[in-house]
Amino acid sequence: MFACIDLGSNSFHLLIARLENGQHEIVERFSEKVQLGAGLMSNGLIQQDAFERGLECLAHFVSAMDAHPVEHRWAVGTNALRIARNAGDFLKAASELGIDIDVVSGEEEAALVYAGVSSAMSVLPESQLVVDIGGGSTEIVFGHGMQRSAVFSLPIGCVSWRDKWFSELDSEDQAGIEKKLLAAADDARQVFSQVAEQLCEEHWESVRASSGTAKMLSLICSARESGDVTPEGVSIDTLKALQGDVIRTAIDPEFELPGLKSSRRELVLPGWSVLRGFMEALQVETLEFSPAALREGMLYYMREGSLRNEAPLHVLKAS
């Protein structure tokens, strides 16, 4: 059995799977909102409360893995553990719990996301653009089938954008919130424009978005368009039409935006602004939501590593 531990800047995830006849079966999934990257922009440190939440979550993961005959485990740290000045302290504390963490580069994270999205598809398009908006970074990959052609990792995410633009809001100042929201979206568009210039000559048949922000906004868009709560995707027109309701979540605590879970409420403004910036910068009219993401990519490389008798990180670095 395999255990994949994804330590994101917003959430920690655990996936436990069984491999049979070359196919994997998901046995357990766990996800906890840790927000390891909260406040990181202020002083470059993982804050003490986030540090403790992270270790408590890892202890829960250890208990969950102990309940299964896990033979192979792999823990991957992403943006928060790449940039925090006290990341070494967290890695040491995690190791004492029995979890050794590989901190991957942004490009390696993007490769894992792309492998996860692609390996989960029954039929691969000839060309696709994959985007993963995380808590502290966004990964963008253009590729053909399983092969990556262009890989980017940008320092923009729903938690970092919340801390930058929405840490202090006056719920009675609707005009001020709207101004901040549009400024945050424009700031995001400028960040993504850096890679748009390099991708402008590429042609993709489809765009797929993975992870929490994409799922959150796909649910909201589906509820808006059809009343359904299945996360299918996002259109730029529906996203723009949601602007008023997104602002209302910040000024009216009683307002319930259809499709939005209460646990994600604080991230809807930054998530909306980041995704809008991405779609406008790359001129994306519609995108599909992918339920598979980095964890499934980890599983893909763990399986490849077990076949080659190599560590999955070595296989990833060689790909």
pLDDT in tens, 168-177: 888 889 999 9
Which residue type sits at 109?
Answer: E
| SS3 category, 263 | helix
Q: Do domains 2-104 and 121-290 have the same CATH topology?
A: yes
Each residue's pLDDT tens digit, 254-309: 999 999 999 999 999 999 999 999 999 999 999 999 999 999 999 999 989 888 89
Full DSSP string of 174-202: HHHHHHHHHHHHHHHHHHHHHHHHHHTT-
DSSP letter assigned to residue 10: S
Cβ density class 138-161: b for 16+ within 10 Å, e for less: bbbbbbeeeebeebbbbebbbbbb
Q: Are strands 72-77 and 138-144 parallel, antiparallel or unpaired?
A: unpaired
Cβ density class 85-112: b for 16+ within 10 Å, e for less: eebeebbeebeeeebebbbbebebbbbb
> Hey, what are 221's tokens?
């868009």
State percent of the chain over pLDDT 70: 100
What fold characterizes domain 121-290? Answer: Nucleotidyltransferase; domain 5 (3.30.420)
- State the Cα–Cα distance between residues 186 and 182, nearest whole angstrom: 6
- State the Cα–Cα distance between residues 13 and 36, nearest whole angstrom: 13
Per-residue pLDDT, averaged over 34-61, amounts to 95
CA 299 to chain centre: 16
Statement: residue 154 has pLDDT above 80: yes
DSSP letter assigned to residue 275: H
Each residue's pLDDT tens digit, 204-222: 999 999 999 999 999 999 9
- Domain coordinates of the chain in residue numbers? 2-104, 121-290
> Hey, what are 239's tokens?
């996203």
Contact 46, 88 (CB under 8 A): no
DSSP letter assigned to residue 83: H
Q: Whose CA is closest to 60, among 2, 18, 5, 1? A: 5
Whole-Å CA distances, 78 to 36, 37, 67, 197: 10, 10, 26, 26
pLDDT band at 22 (very low <50, low <70, confident <90, very high): low
The per-residue pLDDT of the chain, averaged, comes to 94
Which residue type sits at 255?
Answer: F
Sheet strand arrangement including 286-290? 147-154, 138-144, 128-133, 206-210, 286-290, 233-235
Residue 24 pairs in a beta bridge with: 19
Q: Domain 2-104 in CATH: superfamily?
A: ATPase, nucleotide binding domain (3.30.420.40)
Which pLDDT score, from 0 to 100, does residue 66 have? Answer: 96
